[in-house]
Structure 1
Amino acid sequence: MESGVESRDDTAGRRGSGGDRLTPGLALRLTVAFFLPPRFTPRSVRFDRRYRKLDQYRFIVWFLSLPVLVYGVFVVSPFLQAFFYSMTDWTGYSSSYEFTGFENYERMWNDDKFWEATGNSLLLLLVAPLVTLVMGLFFAYMLTAGGRRRNEAVAGVTGSGLYKIVYFFPQVLSLAIIAVIWARIYSPRSGALNAGLDAVGLDSWQREDWLGSSWAIWCVLVVLCWSFVGFYVVLFSAAMSSIPTEIYEAARLDGAGRSTTFFRITFPLTWETVRTGWVYMGIQALDAFALVNVMVPEHGMDVLPSYLFEKSFRDGQAGYATTIGVALFVITLLFATVMLRIGRRDRIEL
């Protein structure tokens, strides 16, 4: 008897709360029910279609609330603070500062050294991803599908497993160690570069100061590409290994060569990975602080992160340094947005 009464009450609750009219009282009960565990949900809203919709997103919201909170405190909040401090004369060594408005941005606009550092950063941004990803694609293709073996449609060159380890080896070294090693290589007196040029009879190519002249930016570019190409060899090799072998078998039966197979099959099917790698490598190129700070002598050349470091920690101009940081943030954001938009293409379904 009691179960029958309860069943009629549930039916009445479904009919009463299932209407399209949202009263203020019902809206309040729905809001409260969203923050309550399901077992404590009031019967008056449990069977409402709006509550069922809220219930679909309640778990997601509660699951993501803590990570989003941590992200907001430790990632978003520093960005907002940087925008604020860029409009002050804060030195970074005291708690006192004065609000100066857009004076730092006007100063940055008229700062020739800032534009020189920006030019160097943009050169690395444009050239480093192109060179690194082209080399990574070439080596990955040769190690994954560039060989020819009997009874195998897809095979890498002989010793491909060893080559992957060799290419990836720079990734196990920190950038500081890499910078120290290459600084010794570029040394004008005892460096391996000048000694090697002398050994092969190219004395005219030797330089007295590789890292203190206009060659510095190209020396940094070489080291940047060398240190990251192994990562993209492994990344692209993994993407190419996921391509079904039946596609390569069909192309081989049609008489397709290595170049045709790469440009018609491999490259289109790995484009999403290439685009992601391009964005990541561009960010790495903009963040060439460790290489420049360790390799290049003082005032030899600057990129935006090294110029920011100089203004903040050497000159005690943290307010102006955060202005440079805002400029670096805008350049990085524009680069990532442009690459993700112009590189967008229809997904290929196999």
Structure 2
Amino acid sequence: MQHGKYRFIVGFLIAPLALYAIFVIWPFIQSIYYSFTDWTGLSSDFKMVGFDNYTKMFDDDIFWKSLQHSVLFVLLLPLVTLALALFLAFMINVGGRQRKGATITGVRGSGFYKIAYFFPQVLSIAIVALLFQFAYNPESGAINAALSAVGLDNIQPLWLGDPDLALWCVMAVLIWSTVGFFVVLFSAGMASIPKDYYEAALLDGADRFTTFFKITLPLLWDTVQAGWIYMGILALGAEAFAVVQIMTVGPGGGGPDYSTTVLPLYVYQTAFRDAQAGYATTIGVALLVVTLSFAAVVTKLGRRERLEF
């Protein structure tokens, strides 16, 4: 009987595991292999160069700039996005004033706010980047026009053309485009928490601040931790790459003066603009290490006793 059970399980697992190995594991192995070659990506001719690509990477100033920007993204974007999403979700579900017949309610119009916050999710990230590229235009953009309308004509930054501001402008777009998803996610989690917990806390004299940190956050911790990892992967992956490439100046994006270049974009530029696919895969391996390290650290630091209700 046991033997038949295991055959049944293996029969269901073998196909998805084979597909995962072919389309996920094997490309990783290939990338590590090509990182030890001088492959241009344009021909099938290449030779092994040992650790030359890694030595070049450690001496590459642009790589270190890109790594610095990616680390900044992965540290700040999840922190700001999730904190803002938790606050908004809490106000939508629990933060309203006491009304007749209901002790725990969200703010008025909470249903509309959910739709408004989630709206950026229905837009392609490319469309979002283009819209904000126009908005940041120093001559005809909506942001400088709004500053002029309120009498702040003397404050007309170049935004994406300023090396000191460009990276922060990109981060603001990523926060705006992703916070709505987590508002809806956390709202769903908060809606499942029994209202009795909040009512008992309010009867004991707890304020909204206390109920958030003593009830809401502990019971949502698993969701927050998963969201933190997911947001970090977005900050290190396609979302950051697309926004930086589309919005910023310079050949292939990343400007001005590499002030917004992130690791995924540098991989793309090295492989397709500079025809150095072997070196690009080396940078890709570094990106893989950063991503896995981030996920491991968040999982380790966020581990706590599971609370159930």
User: Shorter-chain TM-score: which interval?
Assistant: over 0.9
Q: For 1:69-80, list aligned pairs within 5 A.
A: 69-80=18-29
Please give the per-residue CA displacement for 1:12-46, whole angstroms capped at 9, x wherever unaligned: xxxxxxxxxxxxxxxxxxxxxxxxxxxxxxxxxxx
Name the TM-score, length of structure 1 as normaliser.
0.83
Extract structure 1 runs of 4+ deviating beyond 6 A.
Answer: none
The reply on whether 1:113 has 2:72 as its aligned counterpart is: no
- Equivalence for 1:23: none
Name the TM-score, length of structure 2 as normaliser.
0.94
Q: Which amino acid aligns with 1:119?
A: Q
Aligned with residue 164 of structure 2, among 188, 193, 214: 214
- Equivalence for 1:86: 35
Q: For 1:105-144, list aligned pairs within 5 A.
A: 105-144=54-93
- Equivalence for 1:64: 13
Which runs of 5 or more structure 2 residues have no equivalent in the other structure?
A: none
Aligned length: 299
Whether the aligned pair in 2 keeps the contact of 1:90 and 1:97 (CA below 8 Å) is: yes
Alpha-carbon deviation of 1:347?
0.7
- Equivalence for 1:205: 155
Pairwise CA RMSD of aligned residues? 1.2
Alpha-carbon deviation of 1:212?
4.5
- Equivalence for 2:51: 102
Whether the aligned pair in 2 keeps the contact of 1:197 and 1:205 (CA below 8 Å) is: yes
Q: Name the CA distance, whole Å, in 2 between partners of 1:209 and 1:253.
A: 50
Alpha-carbon deviation of 1:206?
1.7
The reply on whether 1:307 has 2:266 as its aligned counterpart is: yes
Which of the pair has more CA radius of gyration?
1
Q: Name the CA distance, whole Å, in 2 between partners of 1:349 and 1:206.
A: 52
Alpha-carbon deviation of 1:297?
0.6
- Equivalence for 2:230: 280
The reply on whether 1:250 has 2:200 as its aligned counterpart is: yes
Q: Name the CA distance, whole Å, in 1 between partners of 2:40 and 2:57.
A: 16
- Equivalence for 2:122: 172
Please give the per-residue CA displacement for 1:19-76, whole angstroms capped at 9, x wherever unaligned: xxxxxxxxxxxxxxxxxxxxxxxxxxxxxxxxx4444433222111100000000010
The reply on whether 1:295 has 2:247 as its aligned counterpart is: yes
Higher RCO, Cα 8 Å, sep 6+: 2
Which runs of 5 or more structure 1 residues have no equivalent in the other structure?
A: 1-51
Q: For 1:220-259, list aligned pairs within 5 A.
A: 220-259=170-209
Q: Name the CA distance, whole Å, in 2 between partners of 1:206 and 1:124.
A: 26
The reply on whether 1:329 has 2:288 as its aligned counterpart is: yes
User: Relative to 1, partners in 2 of residues 1:209 and 1:340: Cα closer, same or farther, differing over 3 Å?
Assistant: closer
- Equivalence for 1:3: none
Q: Name the CA distance, whole Å, in 2 between partners of 1:152 and 1:107.
A: 65
Identity of aligned residues (%): 55
